[in-house]
Structure 1
Amino acid sequence: MARSAIVIGSGIGGLAMGIRLQSLGFETTILEKLDGPGGRAYTKRVDGFTFDMGPTVITVPHFIEELFALERGRPGLHLPDFPESVRGEDQRVREGPSGGPHTRRYVQIVPILPFYRIHFDDGSRFDYDGDPEHTRRQVAALGEPGDLEGYERFHRDAKAIFERGFLELGYTHFGDPLTMLRIVPDLLRLDAVRSLFSFTSKYFRSPKLRQVFSFETLLIGGNPLAVPAIYAMIHFVEKTWGVHFALGGTGALVRALVRKFEELGGRIRYNAEVVRINVLREGRKKVAKGVTLTDGSTLESDLVVSNADYAHTYLRLIDPQYRFWNADWVVKRRPQSMSLVVVYFGFRADGREGERLKHHNIILGPRYEGLLRDIFGRKILAKDFSQYLHIPTLTDPSLAPPGHHAAYTLVPVPHNGSGLDWELLGEPFADKVLRFLDERGYLPGLMERLVHKSFITPDYFEHTLNSYLGNAFGPEPILAQSAFFRPHNRSEDIQNLYLVGAGVQPGAGTPSVMMSAKMTARLIAQDFGLLEKAKGSPSVPQPA
């Protein structure tokens, strides 16, 4: 008989994990607390508008293609992670459909240019599109003396970090200290252990350019002043494969992954919140044997994979008697990423939205370093803010009623360790953000044209998504929580318990959680003896 598996959570990481488990031959059930799939990538539909509630930036389309190409009994774990056909910058799709033939059977993905329009508080802007010549012209216009030469050196050094840190080491599971020690010389040689902001400051004198080439880690919950410079590789990840959008929103990608999972024979249950991972002692071993749901029912399985928040998994789902390496004090001492206030709004179009704004917009406030210290260090709600404004209807009008736009704007704020009372602060803060877009001319007359407004705060992440302290991205990606020091995808405490998603290796972000699923699948295949055939061709259990 085929072995069985349970995946807790239907985020993109959980869906990718389910697809890979099915391809390995397991009979897999995904359990989801919400009434629909996606987790952080849940879709809200209201008043004729469709809002992606979470991630909207899609990169590395061949990761998606790889998932849609999987078949039952053919997991492909021995194939190259980055075949030569996808390594070059000339592979980036600039127009027309993105992704490969298997992807196009399930969802249509299109490239977005520019990747981001970055707006500075003084009214100047930078279109980040990955085009070398266009980038150089903007660096020369926006920068200070020497910054253009600095860009050439930054480009060279970021490429070296990308090639080593992503192409060569991206799928490495750092499960033991020796694996980590082997790469330390490379990290030092590449100067990849200093903070990303310090790294960019070596190359640029202009404060604006330092922001342009360091802000991206905020989209995965990282403070540019604290994340290691290895994250400079994000620049080259986007430059190499571009930034893309799923027509119909990220929710269309989520639905496509659900369809693929179910085609492979997997089952998904909604309104099925897990309250306990069941552990049994077998001699000296502690083994995961299934889960218990809120209604008291239990499901048995040969393994459990948690796509839930890392801290929630250990602190809330597993009895302390079964935990040593992930004891309460260990989990609680890990710094958590920032949280978010996200305002979803629909408004009447005036036809001029695309003149100043693009699909993805980064609107930076008057402070950069000071604001980051307020969010991550002081954990206070500052008077100023920066935001990511997403207007997908500039690309896909079907997400709103005719003559309207659907948008969301995302503002980084401290997590709930701050003690801020969002029941009191939420509504005034959401209104303040929307008035800013109106009064500063990003969306003139917005308040008069507004037909829908809703928002989420750190409380949503804590109480609806079960994220510890309301974090939005899992443990903060600082050096002390990277590689070996980031939570592991195979539990050290409990046999047949695995983790996947933003909270574990390699980290947060849509491509990273898909990578996480492949890394975890390899560990499972190893543990269950599914990688025993010669030349790395997996032997997989077949259905009964």
Structure 2
Amino acid sequence: MSSDLVKLTKLFEAGSEADMLGFLNYLTDIYRKYLNAKDNFIYQSFRSPKDFFNLKTLINALKLKTFSSSYHDMKKFIPNEHLQYLLSFQTLYIGISPFSGPSIYNIIPMIELLYGVWFIKGGMYQYAKALERRFKELGGTIQYHSEIKQVVTSGRKVTGIQVNDDTIPVDAAVINADYPYAVENLLSPEAQKIEKMTPKKVNKMEYSMSCLLIYLGVNEQYPQLDLHTIKMASDFKGNVQEIEDGVLPPDPSYYIYNPSKLDDSFAPAGASSLYILVPVGNLQASKISKQRYLEYANQVIDKAQREFDLNDLQSQIVVKEVFTPDQFNSLYNSKFGTAFGLKPTLLQSNYFRPHNKARKIDGLYFAGASSHPGAGVPIVITSGELAAKEVERDFNNE
């Protein structure tokens, strides 16, 4: 795929002119919905029922026409099944099947095409480091290697944070741990009851898929790989069903990231830093051993080697790390080892997703993939921005 309109026209007209016409109609339709969603939902916090259940917001919600699935909606515009899949699979970026995810998530390919995909020199870690620098410039301090054991509350108000064996008095707490983990582990039973969010309720929520990540340092460069390369399964619909069923797909869809194509700081001269991402089921769908994942990772590497003519890829590997759903769970406290937090279903989106400001407890705020507005790097960053604005709203007048 390209964001060049001339190249896109050639790609779609290779199917038929009807495909190109349908593609342009899709862009018009989804851009209109995007403007609505951006102004009325994505960049809006919801504190109380009246913030969502009012005439203006409900009319705008109906205009999104989001009751059909992403794939079904794309099918209305574009006749060619391969192109339908090509433009609807991006819902996997936020952990939901295009065959069941709300059609509003077709804004993802539109945003890629109209606004581009940006690369940060040095990778996403440099973005985290930049946030750290800015936080310190503004007077913030960071305490590393410290376990947050509990957010301490008194009635309906946050009063402190228990860090290691100390309780630090605070006016507010912004939690960016995964929301289900925060409810189950960082709030007392009394606070859970006040917030009306108990572990039993958390367990009934729907959770997104996970990912198998294969990090490779390779003594070779592969000019045939672009920065981003996606290989879709021959039976894409069956592949997505296997993921939801917790089966390791024999013919997986996978994504190869090759940052060395743009940035030589990722690997020594003549070498490459690659990673391969394979969507897989979360730990609720199935429990697969580390050994089985290691075996499967080798199968995926062999498959990529064959399908993209990556000369002797296996023999050129000098560094290999395999990151599994268990590690999402153990390292990031992501419930069921999901890679994207709560599944973004209709009833777990917008007002129905965990709010950036706690519903009942003053001084408690949430940010992250399982909080409003949802998963995916840009949207998670937006979640942090919304949480910050909620804090400002509460404390600026004090």
The TM-score bracket by the shorter chain reads over 0.9
Q: Tell me the CA shift for residue 316 of structure 1.
A: 1.1
Unaligned runs of 5+ in 1: 1-126, 533-540
- The aligned counterpart of 2:173 is 304
**Out of 226, 237, 241, which is 1:358 matched to?**
226
Measured in 2, the distance between the counterparts of 1:429 and 1:270 equals 35
Partner residue in 2 for 1:348 = 219
Q: Among 356, 380, 389, which residue is 1:513 paired with?
A: 380
Secondary structure, in 3 states, of the residue corresponding to 2:142? strand
Match of 2:161 in 1: 291
Contact residue 339 and residue 415 of structure 1 kept, 8 A:
yes
Per-residue deviation, 1:145: 6.2
Rate the CA distance shift 1:212–1:187 in 2: closer, same or farther, 3 A.
farther
Equivalent residue, structure 1, for 2:58:
184
Which residue number in structure 2 is paired with residue 270 of structure 1?
144
2:191 — aligned with what? 322
Does residue 333 in structure 1 map to residue 333 in structure 2?
no
Shift of 1:272: 1.3
String of CA shifts for 1:429-468, please: whole Å, max 9, x gaps: 1111111111223423101211111111000011111111
CA contact (8 A) 1:422 1:459 kept: no
CA contact (8 A) 1:422 1:457 kept: no
1:237 Cα deviation after fit: 2.3
Equivalent of residue 240 in structure 2, options 359, 369, 372: 372
Aligned counterparts of 1:232 and 1:421: Cα–Cα separation in 2: 32
Change in Cα spacing, 1:435 to 1:475, as seen in structure 2 (3 Å) is: same
Can you list the C-alpha shifts for 1:33-73, whole angstroms capped at 9, x where unaligned? xxxxxxxxxxxxxxxxxxxxxxxxxxxxxxxxxxxxxxxxx
| Counterpart-to-counterpart distance in 2, 1:187 and 1:445 | 52
CA distance in 1, matches of 2:286, 2:42: 36
- Say which of 164, 173, 181 aligns to 2:36: 164
Residue type matched to 2:319 in 1? Answer: H
Supply the AA of the counterpart residue of 1:317.
L
Distance change >3 Å, CA 154–CA 480, structure 1 → 2: same
Secondary structure of the structure 2 residue equivalent to 1:246: coil
Taking a change above 3 Å as real, the CA distance of residues 209 and 187 of structure 1, as seen in their structure-2 partners, is farther
Structure 2 spans left out of the alignment, 5+ residues: none
Equivalent residues in 2 for 1:6-405, closer than 5 Å:
127=1, 129-141=2-14, 143-144=15-16, 146-181=18-53, 182-281=56-155, 286-293=156-163, 295-324=164-193, 325-350=196-221, 353-355=222-224, 357-376=225-244, 378-405=245-272
**Paired letter, 2:8:** T
TM-score by length of 1: 0.70
Residue type matched to 1:226 in 2? S
Alignment check: 8 A CA contact 1:165 1:233 kept:
no
* Greater fraction helix: 2
Structure 2 letter corresponding to 1:255: K
Q: Hey, what's the Cα distance between the residues in 1 that align with 2:159 and 2:223? A: 54
Deviation at 1:418, TM superposition (A): 2.2
Say how many residue pairs are matched.
394
Q: Contact 2:36–2:64 (CA<8 Å) still a contact in 1?
A: no
CA contact (8 A) 1:437 1:444 kept: no
Specify whether residues 137 and 470 from structure 1 end up closer, same or farther in structure 2 by C-alpha distance, changes over 3 A only. Answer: same
Deviations 1:7-54 (A, max 9, x none): xxxxxxxxxxxxxxxxxxxxxxxxxxxxxxxxxxxxxxxxxxxxxxxx
Query: Are the aligned partners of 2:42 and 2:350 in contact in 1 as well (CA < 8 Å)?
Result: no
Give the Cα–Cα distance (whole angstroms) in 1 for the partners of residues 78 and 361 of structure 2: 48
Deviation (angstroms), 1:167: 4.3
2-structure distance, mates of 1:170, 1:462: 27
Three-state SS of the structure 2 residue aligned to 1:269 is coil
2:318 is paired with a residue of what secondary structure? strand
CA separation of 1:169 and 1:480: change in aligned 2, threshold 3 A: closer
Equivalent residues of 2:212, 2:325 under 8 A apart: yes
Name the SS of the counterpart of 1:271 in structure 2: coil
- Structure with higher RCO (Cα < 8 A, 6+ apart): 1
For 1:175 and 1:228, locate their aligned partners in 2 and report how far apart those are by CA, in whole Å. 23
Deviations 1:108-167 (A, max 9, x none): xxxxxxxxxxxxxxxxxxx2x3222321211111x3562122112111101111111124
* Shift of residue 523, structure 1, vs aligned partner: 1.7
How many percent identity over aligned positions?
Answer: 30
Hey, what's the Cα distance between the residues in 2 that align with 1:137 and 1:159?
22
Aligned equivalents of 2:51 and 2:178: distance in 1?
Answer: 25
The two structures have a TM-score, normalised by structure 2, of 0.94
- Give the Cα separation in 2 of the matches to 1:393 and 1:296: 44
Question: C-alpha distance in 1, partners of 2:62/2:25?
Answer: 17
Alpha-carbon spacing, 1:442–1:487, altered in 2? closer, same or farther (3 Å)? farther
2:71 is matched by which residue type in structure 1?
A: F
Other-structure match for 2:345: 478
Q: State the 1:217 CA deviation.
A: 1.8
- Equivalent pair of 1:154/1:200 in contact (CA under 8 Å): yes
Alpha-carbon distance in structure 2 between the residues aligned to 1:180 and 1:380:
38
SS of 1:244 mapped into structure 2: coil
Letter in 2 for 1:233: I
Secondary structure at 2:322 match in 1: strand
Native 8 Å contact 2:252 2:278 kept in 1: yes
The 4+ residue runs of structure 1 with deviation greater than 6 A are none
- Bigger CA drift: 300-309 or 186-195? 186-195
Amino acid at match of 1:507: G
